[in-house]
Amino acid sequence: MGVKENYELAKKQYEQWGVNVEEALEKLKNVPISIHCWQGDDIGGFEVNKSELSGGIDVTGDYPGKATNPEELRSDLEKALSLIPGKHRINLHAIYAETNGEVVERDELEPKHFENWVNWAKENGLGLDFNPTLFSHEKAADGLTLTHPNEEIRDFWIQHCIASRKIAEYFGKELGTPALTNIWIPDGYKDIPSDRLTPRKRLKESLDKIYAVETDEQYNLDAVESKVFGIGSESYVVGSHEFYLGYALKNNKLCLMDTGHYHPTETVSNKISSMLLFSDKLALHVSRPVRWDSDHVVILDDELKEIGIEIVRNDALDKVIIGLDFFDASINRVAAWTIGTRNMIKSLLNALLIPHDKLKQLQEEGNFTDRLALMEEFKTYPFGAIWDYYCEQMNVPVRESWLSDVKKYEEDILSKRANKAEGSLPVNMG
Ligand SMILES: C[C@H](O)[C@H](O)[C@@H](O)C(=O)CO
Ligand SMILES: [Mn+2]
């Protein structure tokens, strides 16, 4: 049976529960996912004086063919985007500036250093988001930035964040869609601190200085991202969840929750409804922690499905800004983007096909037997047939057929790059 026939049969099953499948697909088309550029080059960036990756994060693997310049990175992103249904956004870090071989300090970055990205985004109908880069730099060598006891260093990073917000504002103006500027800092201590308060006071003061410079909300939205621990900040992270939750609520900023930045049994899906009661918008970095904040490629696991469900059943598709944050250098990087982003979209589609009103009603009535029975049965409804049809309608490969496109791209393009493995095609895809 073909994709369309399968779809028609599946649609009927959902319709029995009052689910409007066509409406669900229409909604899905309009949900942008902010795809992180840094999966394409292992968070390397294009700075002239490039520093080693730091900040307590790590990329493992040496799969050949990573992007080594902006043109390669954009070409790889275009390939991935051609395999992902819908219109999306690209999330940049400041280290992806293009400075024509000139050393430009991060506190002096300007919109002109991102002109090529903006032109490319216009050509491809994409929105852009932004992150100041407060790691991989000599001034962050001791793991401290906005909370540094040295005022000069702190001020350097404050100026970098201000410059970043102006760059994001330029993105928003040029592209007609507000850019999200997300601040994440690595600051913390390996061992038990003797004073938790002073660094947090300094972080608050630094953020106040950054946000004292106004940007237009029509073009730039500000977010702050917390973390529970990193490599080298195992005992204490200054920018904890409580810190940023408090800061964001008091100062009308967005809280960004990274799914890898909480205790192992703590889930972001369970936080969304609470946060939405107190903020108009929030942001996510959807990642996959395996034992730690390992940033594995996002899979369609229970937590990803639950995140989709929380966003959809709380009518929050336009309130939750969905970004991805993973970096796996052990597999083909274009495939990594494709797998992770398709999974994020699948999770939203799955959620859009569940009769939430019916299930909510059962809970209100105290009918927990039917609630559990139906929630379990809906898990095996023919969601895959709807997904396949959606891909076909959106002119992207159906099911795993995208993999051969990536293999061809690897043969034609990636394997010819300077950083290819000695003498042969990679074992995984050859
Ligand atoms: C590149 C980083 O992953 C990113 O900026 C930050 O969001 C993070 O999650 C650090 O753990
Ligand atoms: Mn993150």
Which amino acid, residue 129? D
Residue 216 falls in the annotated catalytic set: no
Ligand 1 atom at shortest distance from the alpha carbon of 43: 1
Alpha-helical (H) ranges within 126-265 are: 151-175, 197-212, 241-251
Q: Separation of 376 CA from ligand 2 center, angstroms?
A: 31
Q: Which of 266, 199, 256 shows the shortest CA–CA distance to 233?
A: 199
- Give me the pLDDT at residue 426, please: 47
Ligand 1 atom at shortest distance from the alpha carbon of 186: 10
- Give me the pLDDT at residue 414, please: 98
Give the max Cα distance, the chain: 68
- The residue from 38, 117, 157, 184 that is catalytic is 184
* CA 368 to each of CA 16, 243, 273, 371, 373: distance values in angstroms, whole numbers, following the listed order: 21, 37, 21, 5, 8
296 labeled part of a ligand binding site: no
Q: How far is CA 6 from the centre of its chain?
A: 32
Whether 399 is covered by a domain: the verdict is no
- Give me the pLDDT at residue 423, please: 41
CA dihedral 148, 152, 153, 155 (to 10 degrees): 90
> Taking the complete model, does pTM exceed 0.90, yes or no?
yes
Buried b (16+ CB within 10 A) or exposed e, 46-84: bbeeeeebbbbbbbeeebbbbbeebebbbbbbebbbebb
Q: Which of 329, 430, 320, 285 shows the shortest CA–CA distance to 42?
A: 329
Cβ atoms of residues 146 and 289 within 8 Å: no
Q: Separation of 43 CA from ligand 1 center, angstroms?
A: 10
HEC states along 18-85? CCCHHHHHHHHHCCCCEEEHHHHCCCCCCCCCCCCCCCCCCCCCCCCCCCCCHHHHHHHHHHHHCCCC
Which residues form the pocket of ligand 1, taking CB atoms under 6 Å from any ligand atom? 38, 43, 57, 131, 184, 225, 227, 258, 285, 293, 325
Whether 296 is covered by a domain: the verdict is yes
Q: Which two tokens stand for residue 118?
A: 């903006």
Q: Separation of 227 CA from ligand 1 center, angstroms?
A: 9
Task: Note down the domain range covering 84.
Answer: 32-352
* CA 239 to each of CA 72, 146, 188, 256, 410: distance values in angstroms, whole numbers, following the listed order: 34, 10, 8, 12, 40
Q: Separation of 130 CA from ligand 2 center, angstroms?
A: 12
- The pLDDT tens digits along the chain (430 residues) read 899 999 999 999 999 999 999 999 999 999 999 999 999 999 999 999 999 999 999 999 999 999 999 999 999 999 999 999 999 999 999 999 999 999 999 999 999 999 999 999 999 999 999 999 999 999 999 999 999 999 999 999 999 999 999 999 999 999 999 999 999 999 999 999 999 999 999 999 999 999 999 999 999 999 999 999 999 999 999 999 999 999 999 999 999 999 999 999 999 999 999 999 999 999 999 999 999 999 999 999 999 999 999 999 999 999 999 999 999 999 999 999 999 999 999 999 999 999 999 999 999 999 999 999 999 999 999 999 999 999 999 999 999 999 999 999 999 999 999 776 544 444 445 4
Q: Separation of 407 CA from ligand 1 center, angstroms?
A: 29
Helix or strand or coil: residue 188? strand
Q: What value, to the nearest 5°, has the Cα angle with vertex 94 and ends 325 and 190? A: 65
- The residue from 293, 310, 388, 410 that is catalytic is 293
Cβ atoms of residues 344 and 318 within 8 Å: no
Report the domain count for the chain.
1
Whether 147 is covered by a domain: the verdict is yes
Ligand 1 atom at shortest distance from the alpha carbon of 225: 7
Whether 199 is covered by a domain: the verdict is yes
Ligand 1 pocket mutation, candidates 258, 262, 284, 297, criterion most atoms within 8 A of CB: 258
Ligand 1 pocket mutation, candidates 91, 184, 228, 262, criterion most atoms within 8 A of CB: 184
- The residue from 79, 137, 285, 305 that is catalytic is 285
295 labeled part of a ligand binding site: yes
Whether 428 is covered by a domain: the verdict is no
Q: Separation of 427 CA from ligand 1 center, angstroms?
A: 29
Whether 43 is covered by a domain: the verdict is yes
Give the torsion sign (CA, 274, 181, 172, 36). negative
Residue 261 falls in the annotated catalytic set: yes
Whether 306 is covered by a domain: the verdict is yes
- Give me the pLDDT at residue 420, please: 62
Looking at ligand 1, which residue's alpha carbon is closest to its atom 11? 57
- Give me the pLDDT at residue 430, please: 42
Residue 295 falls in the annotated catalytic set: yes
> Helices then strands (H, E): number in the chain?
14, 12
Ligand 1 atom at shortest distance from the alpha carbon of 258: 9
Ligand 1 atom at shortest distance from the alpha carbon of 38: 1
CATH of the domain at 311: 3.20.20.150
405 labeled part of a ligand binding site: no
Whether 208 is covered by a domain: the verdict is yes
Residue 302 falls in the annotated catalytic set: no
